[in-house]
Amino acid sequence: MPEGDTIFRAARTLHRALAGRTVTRFESVFPRLTRIDHDRPLRGRTIDRVEARGKHLLIHFSGDLVLRTHMRMHGSWHIYRPGERWQRPRHQMRIVIETGVIDAVAFDVPVAEFATNAQLARTPALRDLGPDLLAADFDADEAIRRVEQRREMSIADALLDQRAIAGIGNIYKNEALFVARVHPFDRVESLPRDTIEKIVVTAATLMRANVREGMRGGMTARTTTRRGDSSSRYWVYERSGKPCRRCGSVIQRSKQGPDARSTYWCSRCQLPTL
């Protein structure tokens, strides 16, 4: 599933390509979207802005209409010049927004809906989101408070709960806990507040470094080690059985949580709470 930084960069790219342009054609395979387009046509509307909220991407059109999409595991947005060959097959297309200058195409997006701004504010998927790590007004204290409320959860599972903190996925869960030197299976109630604060600040720092302007690799590059070698991008993520980059111990891996997500950690650098 794309992490919050991927959605943030995608929204920024779409905003730069589409904001201020007028829709000339809309197409979708989703009947619920084409029904809205029939009743309240997209053609002729201006694209006001594109933004990310956690892992949700929002395209705002004039006339109080917003398209919300969620990528889940395999979805993505692409931009093309009119007539340019798509990089993915047409049968994977879910949404097309044409402006006469730039076409935006959503592939394999499983979640998509139109809403007014008032309806969007009442949508549970957005209404219940925790503070967004990449938002300009990110409230770290509120994020810490929400994590602390999940006392009986493991800290790794608490970080993945989008109602606690929006934007963290499995990569940043693993990487932030390693950098903060916290064992992923520690229960939240066993961790002092300053440790939770360190984890939250670390996650925010890692994610924000990967959305800065001018970063190498365009929309998809990511690193938490700050090393240029593509094989050295991560500290522990997907490195089970390999030596820890800090101490040389073997990186461990185990399934964790209700969704059996892979968790990686160093048994020497990340000692469990006694």
Among 27, 31, 41, 55, which one carries the catalytic annotation?
55
Identify whether 3 is a catalytic site residue: yes
Report residue 4 as tokens: 């919050």
Rounded Cα–Cα distance for residues 1 and 116 (Å): 26
Instruction: In whole angstroms, give the CA distance from residue 234 to residue 3.
Output: 14
98 is catalytic: no
Spatial CA neighbour of 174 closest among 165, 184, 164: 184
Distance CA 270, CA 202 (A): 15
Residue carrying the six token digits 């996925």:
169
Angle between helical axes of 193-209 and 140-149 (0-180°, round to 10): 130
Q: Catalytic site residue 110?
A: no
**Choice among 3, 98, 175, 197 that is catalytic:** 3
Is the Cβ–Cβ distance between 107 and 88 less than 8 Å?
yes
The residues annotated with a catalytic role in the active site are 2-3, 55
